[in-house]
Structure 1
Amino acid sequence: MDAISDPTFKHARSRKQVTEESPSLLTVIIEIAPKLWTTFDEEGNEKGSIIKVLEALIVFLNAHLAFNSANKVAVIAAYSQGIKYLYPESTSALKASESENKTRSDLKIINSDMYRRFRNVDETLVEEIYKLFELEKKQIEQNSQRSTLAGAMSAGLTYVNRISKESVTTSLKSRLLVLTCGSGSSKDEIFQYIPIMNCIFSATKMKCPIDVVKIGGSKESTFLQQTTDA
């Protein structure tokens, strides 16, 4: 009995106490310019890679939300014409969606029995990306290969900064995830070096780690590699 009262046992019991994780904001930057993904599919003899990526992204976002009820997500698209907040939608975008004649039943690929919080994110994301694809389809021949990824990263960090300041009662951890495809050895040439470096410095100052998922391609992105090393 004396052995049980030894400080070693007390220390072992105290180590089992679990501390609750702080809420986390995950901001995803996804590059969805059709020309980039089409080139990627052609080089790798693939088909519909962007759809597979979006399916995996939805599962990942749901997992993040499930990990903590206070977790938040945001998704920003970088496409040939600029950037767009996919989730959460702005107030003006919500009003525009309500005024449209097309209903969400046209895009109903999400299980209606899904947990409501997951479904809200998933349906909004799928619908907004569908709208972007329709917009890009009309202008695909005129679209340039100029990357808007730096602008999307800057917008993502701006959003992180705003949400962090609004969360005055809780400590909110933030993380940025950049998702792009590596189609071609000249991919680095279309990146804007100075804006991306500014994003790296800002993220470091904000203590917001940046992760990069670069799918395919024969050459590593020097610029994006620097973001993960910062």
Structure 2
Amino acid sequence: MASNAVPIGIKKEDALSGLVGSSADTDNSVLNRAPDFLVVILDLNPKAWQRSHGVSKEYSRADAAFQNLKQTLSTTLVFLNAHVAMQHGNGVAVYGAVDGTAELLYTTAPFVHKSKQTDDQSTISACLPFKNMDDALFIQARKLIRGACEELAGGSTRKSNGLVRALSLALCHINQVTALARTTDAQSEYKLNATDDIKKGRQLTSVGFHHRVLIMSVTPDASAQYVPMMNCIFSAQKQGIQIDVCKLLGEDTVFLRQACHLTDGHYYSMPTLDGLLEVLAMVFLPSKSIRPVLMFPAMDDVDFRAACFCHRRNVDIGYRFEDEQAVAEMLRSG
């Protein structure tokens, strides 16, 4: 017996409208759907991963942090492979963030030198692009983590948050991809000499990328980074770039929740790593074009408190200086 039930996670009105749509509309929507360029920011801060465990012994805590970090990297690779395989033309870039710095681990953008990808090109396989991405991500992440651990062992005391730097680099990377796509399309359009039908067909298939940023964070909020973080958030909002956040192993972050809310992204907090792949696939894998017809977990409890410039902490009540454009904590007399 046939069932009229609507699939879970899809709005009923959208499912019904899809049943009565014509095949011509479906073909046009496929042509109009631009590929996704996803930038993933991995929080590789060794101190944050160790603090996320309540083990008393230092060696046990370090070993548990290493195992969880390795599991997270493996799961992220599966998610990235699924994203690349979802649609022809999908692009991806991965940034790693540690204390005070961030580096590009892998990207499919053509303007990056090939030596940045991987050093091993000997394997001949139909899945070579996936293997190259896996190898490059593991190699570059290991170098970044090793360098961060050596700095910690040497007594380095960096206080800046690498996530802010990684987000800034991600937005710059997206801007480069967008500029390159516009230049390529303009040159191709100038050289194209065909009928109007061919031009229309090409116009439908070269509409550029839908850009998204996914932050996989372990590090807690740093009030000292409030201004640069909000600058990045407002820049992404102005460019129409969605910021998604998967908060791992720790308390929720106020600033990243604001980033998701202001850019129409999704925020999901995971107290453990159990089911990480399922969360990545169900919440963060759907493209920007299909998200309006899906139902996601609501994000109602957004904390819009600002950070005090003097005391470096979030405040409930404050006032703004006209000249300095700063938020200061209100001092109350007894």
Q: Partner of 1:163 in structure 2?
A: 177
Equivalent residues of 1:112, 1:119 under 8 A apart: no
1:71 to 56, 66, 90: 90
Q: Partner of 2:81 in structure 1?
A: 62
Shift in Å, 1:204 = 0.7
Equivalent residues of 2:118, 2:132 under 8 A apart: no
The 2-side partners of 1:96 and 1:28 are apart by 16
> Bigger relative contact order, structure 1 or 2, given CA contacts below 8 A and separation 6+?
1
Deviations 1:108-150 (A, max 9, x none): xxx9857111111111101101111222232223243532111
The 2-side partners of 1:50 and 1:114 are apart by 29
What letter is aligned with 1:179? Answer: M
Q: Partner of 1:8 in structure 2?
A: none
The 1-side partners of 2:52 and 2:121 are apart by 30
Deviations 1:69-121 (A, max 9, x none): 20000011111241111013943x828976xxxx799xxxxx98571111111
Shift in Å, 1:221 = 0.7
Equivalent residues of 1:41, 1:49 under 8 A apart: no
* Mapping of residues 62-101 of structure 1, within 5 Å: 62-88=81-107, 90-91=112-113, 94=115
The 2-side partners of 1:67 and 1:97 are apart by 23
The 2-side partners of 1:226 and 1:96 are apart by 33
Q: Provide TM-score, normalisation by structure 1.
A: 0.78
Unaligned runs of 5+ in 1: 1-10, 106-110
The 2-side partners of 1:60 and 1:198 are apart by 29
Unaligned runs of 5+ in 2: 1-18, 186-205, 263-334
Q: Partner of 1:135 in structure 2?
A: 147
1:206 to 216, 219, 239: 239
Count of residue pairs brought into register by the alignment? 205
Over the matched positions of the two proteins, sequence identity in percent amounts to 28
The 1-side partners of 2:232 and 2:43 are apart by 16
Q: Partner of 2:253 in structure 1?
A: 221
**Whose radius of gyration is greater, 1 or 2?**
2
The 2-side partners of 1:104 and 1:166 are apart by 26
C-alpha RMSD over aligned residues:
2.9
Equivalent residues of 1:29, 1:152 under 8 A apart: yes
SS in 2 for 1:122: helix
Q: Judging changes above 3 Å, is the alpha-carbon distance between structure 1 residues 94 and 13 closer, same or farther for their aligned structure 2 residues?
A: closer
What letter is aligned with 2:94? Answer: V
What letter is aligned with 1:133? Answer: I
